[in-house]
């Protein structure tokens, strides 16, 4: 039902009709083209859609447009006065508070509401005011500094104190003359479009003649696909294309080291959420309805739900070649003799868990047919990899597929692998139309890769003085249904298993095991955040048993020039391990002093 509302947006009075079910966020983005407010979750949890309503910050995804009748609304586009940025925007740039930029508009508006109320907010007040705005890049430190700095500048401006314009950089080291030029112009190029809302992420683009994509996903962790019948869906009015594996003219399988993952599942599905088919239609609603009309018949298979299960005799096979995706070994010296020489031996098992990248910008990709190929617009971490996979799937030359990295609202490894780009390309190719494929927050969290959960069994021997003599480690990593970046993770966990310490006798067995769990792939650190828990945990246990100071134990075994790394080659250049440990001790003294 349409309703007429009167409101003021960024100082402009507007009288318009809105659909009574539409949110304020929808009205701002679709009705007014103000895309500074972001649709990060659509359920009021992330704060990326924050705007001010009569001066108060609201999640505009939780407010109906009709509720804004009579209100004064401020969006990020209304913060600057012409070319003159708001002091908050300036402080965000100067303090380095802008990273990917996706949370920035909402963050700025929550901060503005705070500064409108309090001239000199405390750090606690700032933290509380920003608690509803998630940021995945900055750790909030520089954002909090920036808000405090903006408050100071506003106070000084009010007092007409010219010294207010001078900013003192919050560096962590003394400012020496730098080799490098003043970064300010480049910083502004990066940050200004992010603080004004001018920067367009993929979902912010308003392109003409765009069809909508949706993906049908497997409800089973492991099942044979007996039949896929898209006929009913294809007949639905407004449906432009339905794609299944059969529509892929080129290579369906892709991967990093092993091409084992299909763009769309054909013979069987290997995890819940695996793409099976996709639809392009004139509206998202029709695309959604069409998904329900695609008939897929499955024969469920026993599922492998853990790496331990995957390794057990008689386990169901996720892939024909066996469930061991990779077994990476390190065998240096003589590990048994190493333990014989030990005065103390410690043993422990550590477990690490499934983790999501949780980048704030939900996945979105747009593909448009070009004269001889396709153009793809999407956030990603490697344009040439997207080009390679899509070209192979569509049996095209790479040059026919043009990939443009759109501003990317965080990635952290989650956007190395293809997320939506290959599926939208296939839809645009078949429909011969521009297609946009946008994932909801839930789809972004459930359909994408995760950090490998691992079991780390560590046994370490040392002499009474703390010198490490041997390491035996068995690491079991759940790589999920497909290899993706699993081989890189497994390899890194093996060769860096003991951290920055020298151990002369080593036996490491690191297994990446296929299961019918979600795909574990690349995530910031490639297995090292898991490994660090194990090698530091075992070092602490050893320090306890030896009655030795944990720092002294680490210094004693630190990798230094001339000492071999885990894989047997002596280090030729310092890594600064001892210096870093000493600095931590010095800093501790300062903090306690």
Partner 1 sequence: MGNQVRGRGLSCYYLGVGFMGRPNPSTAEAALLEDGRVEVRCGVAELGQKLEVTLRMLAAAELEVPVDRVVLVHRETDLAPNSGVTAASRQTYISGGAILKAVQELKSRILDEASEVLESGPEGLVYDQGNVVADGPSRQEVSLVEIARSCQRRGRSLSSRVTYNPPVELKVDPETGYGKPYASYSVGVTEVEVEVDLDTGQVTVSDIVCITDVGKAIFPKSVEGQIQGGAAMGLGYALMEDAAVREGRVSITGFHDYLVPTSLDVPAIRGIIHETPDPHGPFGARGFGELTVLGVAPAVLAAIKKATGVRLRNLPVTPERVYAALRKQESLQSEKEVNR
Q: Of these, 36, 106, 500, 504, which contacts partner 1 (CB under 8 A)?
A: 500
Burial class (CB in 10 A: 0-12, 13-18, 19+), 506: buried
Helix, strand, or coil here: 325? strand
Segment lying near partner 1 (by CB under 8 A), choices 17-25, 235-243, 317-325, 573-581 = 573-581
From the CB of 314, what's the least distance to partner 1, in Å?
A: 19
Distance CA 551, CA 185 (A): 43
Strand order in the sheet with 12-19: 12-19, 2-9, 72-74, 50-53, 56-59
Which residue, 41 or 364, is less far from partner 1 as judged by CB? 41
Near partner 1 by CB under 8 A: residue from 403, 424, 425, 468: 403
Are the CB atoms for 304 and 491 separated by under 8 Å?
no
217 lies in the site for partner 1, by CB under 8 A: no
C-alpha–C-alpha distance, residues 529 and 583, integer Å: 22
CB distance 476 to 513 below 8 Å: yes
Q: Which of 36, 57, 78, 101 binds partner 1 (CB under 8 A)?
A: 101
Among 51, 71, 130, 342, the residue binding partner 1 under the rule CB under 8 A is 130
Q: Output 5 or 542, the one with its CB closest to partner 1.
A: 542
According to the binding rule CB under 8 A, does residue 273 interact with partner 1? yes
Question: Which residues, 327 to 356, sit near partner 1 by CB under 8 A?
Answer: 328-332, 348-356
x/- mask, partner 1, residues 152-171, rule CB under 8 A, reads: -----------------x-x
Q: CB of 254 within 8 A of CB of 271?
A: no
Pairing of strands 505-514, 468-480: parallel
563 burial via Cβ count (<10 Å: 0-12, 13-18, 19+):
middle
Our finding on whether 576 is near partner 1 (CB under 8 A) is yes
Is 415 an interacting residue with respect to partner 1 (CB under 8 A)? yes
Long-range CB contacts (within 8 A, 24+) of 441-444:
441/40, 441/41, 441/42, 441/43, 441/46, 441/362, 443/215, 443/362, 443/363, 444/362, 444/363
Q: What's the CA gap between 546 and 468, in Å, rounded?
A: 12
Asked if residue 514 lies in contact with residue 310, where contact means CB atoms within 8 angstroms, the answer is: yes
Contact predicate 356/442, CB 8 Å? no
String of contacts with partner 1 for each residue 514-553, x by CB under 8 A:
--xxx---x-xxx-xx--xx-xxx--xx--------xx--
Contacting residue, 81, 83, 182, 209, with partner 1 by CB under 8 A: 182
Name the one range near partner 1 by CB under 8 A: 20-28, 80-88, 258-266, 409-417: 409-417
User: Do residues 100 and 381 touch, judged by C-beta distance below 8 A?
Assistant: no
Stretch 380-399 residues interacting with partner 1 (CB under 8 A): 380-385, 387, 398
173 makes contact with partner 1 (CB under 8 A):
yes
Indicate the residue among 7 and 411 with the shorter CB distance to partner 1.
411
CB of 234 to partner 1, least distance (A): 30
Neighbours of 195 (CB within 10 A): 28
Q: Return the number of the residue (33 or 576) whose C-beta is nearest partner 1.
A: 576
Binding of residue 134 to partner 1 (CB under 8 A): yes
Q: Which is nearer to partner 1, 385 or 563 (CB)?
A: 385
The only residue of 60, 75, 99, 469 in contact with partner 1, by rule CB under 8 A: 99
Instruction: Decide: is 108 part of the binding site for partner 1 (CB under 8 A).
Output: no
Supply φ then ψ for residue 298, to 5 degrees: -115, 150
Check binding of 205 to partner 1 (CB under 8 A). no
Provide, rounded to whole angstroms, the least separation between the CB of residue 7 and partner 1. 28
Q: Cβ of residue 139: shortest distance to partner 1, in angstroms? A: 3
Q: Is 140 in the site for partner 1 (CB under 8 A)?
A: yes
Nearer to partner 1, 126 or 240 (CB): 126
Binding segment for partner 1 (CB under 8 A), chosen from 30-38, 338-346, 376-384, 428-436, is 376-384
# chain residues binding partner 1, by CB under 8 A: 139
Which residues make beta-bridge pairs with 364? 438
Structure tokens at 323: 């469930």
Cα 433 versus chain centre, distance: 29
Q: Work out whether 282 is an interface residue with partner 1 (CB under 8 A).
A: no
**What number of other Cβ atoms are within 10 A of residue 372's Cβ?**
10
């Amino acid at each position: 039902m349409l309703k007429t509302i009167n409101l003021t947006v960024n100082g402009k009075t507007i009288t318009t009709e809105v659909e009574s079910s539409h949110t304020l966020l929808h009205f701002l983005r679709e009705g007014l083209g103000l895309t500074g407010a972001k649709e990060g979750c659509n359920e009021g949890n992330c704060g990326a859609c924050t705007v001010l309503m009569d001066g108060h910050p609201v999640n505009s995804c939780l407010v109906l447009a009709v509720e804004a009748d009579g209100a004064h609304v401020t969006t990020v586009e209304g913060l600057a006065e012409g070319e003159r940025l708001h002091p908050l925007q300036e402080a965000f740039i100067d303090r380095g508070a802008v990273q990917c930029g996706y949370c920035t508009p909402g963050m700025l508006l929550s901060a503005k509401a705070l500064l409108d109320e309090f001239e000199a907010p405390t750090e606690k007040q700032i933290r509380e005011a920003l608690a509803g705005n998630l940021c995945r890049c900055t750790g909030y430190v520089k954002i909090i500094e920036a808000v405090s700095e903006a408050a100071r500048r506003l106070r000084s401006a009010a007092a007409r104190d010219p010294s207010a314009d001078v900013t003192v950089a919050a560096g962590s080291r003394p400012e020496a003359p730098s080799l490098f030029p003043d970064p300010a112009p480049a910083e502004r190029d990066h940050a200004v479009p992010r603080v004004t809302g001018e920067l367009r992420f993929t979902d912010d683009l308003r392109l003409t003649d765009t069809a909508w994509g949706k993906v049908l996903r497997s409800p089973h962790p492991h099942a044979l696909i007996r039949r896929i019948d898209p006929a009913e869906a294809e007949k639905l009015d407004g449906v432009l294309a339905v794609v299944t594996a059969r529509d892929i003219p080129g290579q369906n399988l892709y991967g990093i080291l092993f091409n084992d993952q299909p763009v769309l599942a054909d013979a069987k599905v290997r995890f819940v959420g695996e793409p099976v088919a996709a639809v392009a239609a004139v509206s998202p609603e029709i695309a959604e309805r069409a998904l329900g009309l695609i008939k897929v018949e499955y024969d469920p298979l026993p599922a492998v739900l853990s790496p331990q299960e995957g390794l057990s005799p008689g386990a169901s096979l996720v892939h024909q070649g066996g469930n061991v995706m990779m077994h990476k070994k390190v065998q240096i010296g003589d590990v048994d003799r190493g333990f014989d020489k030990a005065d103390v031996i410690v043993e422990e098992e550590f477990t690490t868990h499934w983790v999501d990248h949780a980048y704030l910008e939900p996945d979105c990709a747009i593909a448009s047919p070009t004269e001889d190929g396709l153009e793809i617009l999407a956030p990603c971490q490697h344009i040439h990899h997207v080009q390679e996979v899509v070209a192979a799937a569509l049996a095209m030359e790479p040059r026919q597929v043009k990939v443009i990295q759109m501003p990317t609202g965080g990635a952290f490894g989650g956007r190395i692998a293809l997320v939506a780009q290959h599926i939208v390309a296939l839809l645009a190719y078949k429909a011969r139309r521009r297609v946009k494929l946008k994932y909801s927050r839930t789809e972004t969290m459930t359909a994408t890769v995760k950090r490998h959960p691992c079991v780390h069994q560590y046994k370490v021997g040392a002499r009474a003085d703390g010198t490490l003599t041997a390491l035996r480690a068995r690491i079991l990593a759940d790589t999920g249904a497909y290899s993706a970046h699993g081989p890189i993770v497994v390899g890194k966990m093996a060769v860096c298993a003991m951290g920055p310490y020298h151990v002369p006798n080593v036996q490491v067995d690191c297994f990446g095991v296929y299961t019918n769990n979600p795909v574990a792939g690349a995530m910031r650190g490639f297995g090292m955040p898991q490994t660090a828990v194990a090698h530091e945990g075992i070092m602490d246990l050893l320090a306890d048993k030896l009655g030795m100071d944990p720092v002294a134990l680490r210094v004693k075994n630190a990798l230094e020039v001339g000492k071999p790394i885990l894989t047997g080659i002596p280090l030729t250049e310092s890594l600064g391990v001892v210096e870093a440990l000493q600095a931590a001790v010095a800093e501790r003294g300062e903090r306690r002093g």
